[in-house]
Structure 1
Amino acid sequence: MSAIYHNTMAALDKIVPPKLQPLWTHPAGPKTVFFWAPLFKWGLVIAGIADLQRPADSISPSQSGALLATGLIWSRYSLVIIPKNYSLFSVNMFVALTQSYQMYRALSYQNQMKNKASSEK
Structure 2
Amino acid sequence: MAKVYKAIISASDKFVPNAFRPLWEHPAGPKTIFFWAPAFKWALVMASLDDFRRPLEKVSTTQSGSLAATGFIWTRYCLVIVPINYSLSLCNFMLGLANGVQCFRAYRYQQKIKTDKEA
TM range (shorter): over 0.9
Q: State how far apart, in whole Å, the 2-side matches of 1:83 and 1:54 are.
A: 38
User: What residue in structure 2 maps to residue 61 of structure 1?
Assistant: 61
**Which 4+ runs in 1 deviate beyond 6 A?**
none
Q: State how far apart, in whole Å, the 2-side matches of 1:62 and 1:77 are.
A: 22
Deviations 1:25-74 (A, max 9, x none): 10000011110110111111211211112211110111101110110111
User: What residue in structure 1 maps to residue 78 of structure 2?
Assistant: 78
2:26 maps to amino acid: H
User: What residue in structure 2 maps to residue 7 of structure 1?
Assistant: 7
After TM superposition, give the deviation of residue 76 of structure 1 in Å: 0.5
- 5+ residue gaps, structure 1, are none
Q: State how far apart, in whole Å, the 2-side matches of 1:3 and 1:64 are.
A: 38
2:60 maps to amino acid: S
Give RMSD over aligned pairs.
1.0
User: What residue in structure 1 maps to residue 114 of structure 2?
Assistant: 114
- 5+ residue gaps, structure 2, are none
Matches within 5 A, 1:27-106: 27-106=27-106
Percent identity between matched residues is 50
Q: State how far apart, in whole Å, the 1-side matches of 2:74 and 2:102 are.
A: 19
Kindly name which structure, 1 or 2, has the bigger radius of gyration based on alpha carbons: 1
Deviations 1:80-115 (A, max 9, x none): 001111101111111111101111111111111111
Aligned residues: 119
TM-score normalised by length of structure 2: 0.94
TM-score normalised by length of structure 1: 0.93
User: What residue in structure 2 maps to residue 25 of structure 1?
Assistant: 25
